[in-house]
Amino acid sequence: MFAEPWQAQAFALAVRLSAQGCFSWHEWSNALGEELAAAAARGTPDDGSHYYEHWLAALEKLVAAKGISDPTSLARRKEEWEAAYRATPHGQPVELRTSRARSRSE
């Protein structure tokens, strides 16, 4: 079902946020449907290889729309994640500092 661990994590995050009442599953399915339709309109192949990229894009948009996070914070966290995994030796777990830990140490 999942080709990469991040896909399972994105799936689980959407399920968890919905279960916690951050958005309804109906809202989620609408957001994903809109993202898939937008991808089709852009000409993205519908071969399933980009499904979880669309899943993640829909989740990010819904999280921003609901005020759970904002696009700037999401972009910053992505940059932090990329820096962390690039600095991590192959085969080692990636450790990403939390914002609180980072601000205390800076």
Q: pLDDT tens-digit profile of 71-94?
A: 899 889 889 988 888 898 998 888
Nearest residue to 59 (alpha-carbon basis) of 46, 69, 50:
69
Q: pLDDT tens-digit profile of 24-57?
A: 999 999 999 999 999 999 998 888 889 999 999 9
The number of residues in the chain equals 106
pLDDT tops 80 at residue 101: no
pLDDT tops 80 at residue 16: yes
- Residue 24: predicted pLDDT: 96
pTM of the complete model: 0.75
Packing angle, helices 51-65 and 5-19, rounded to 10: 30
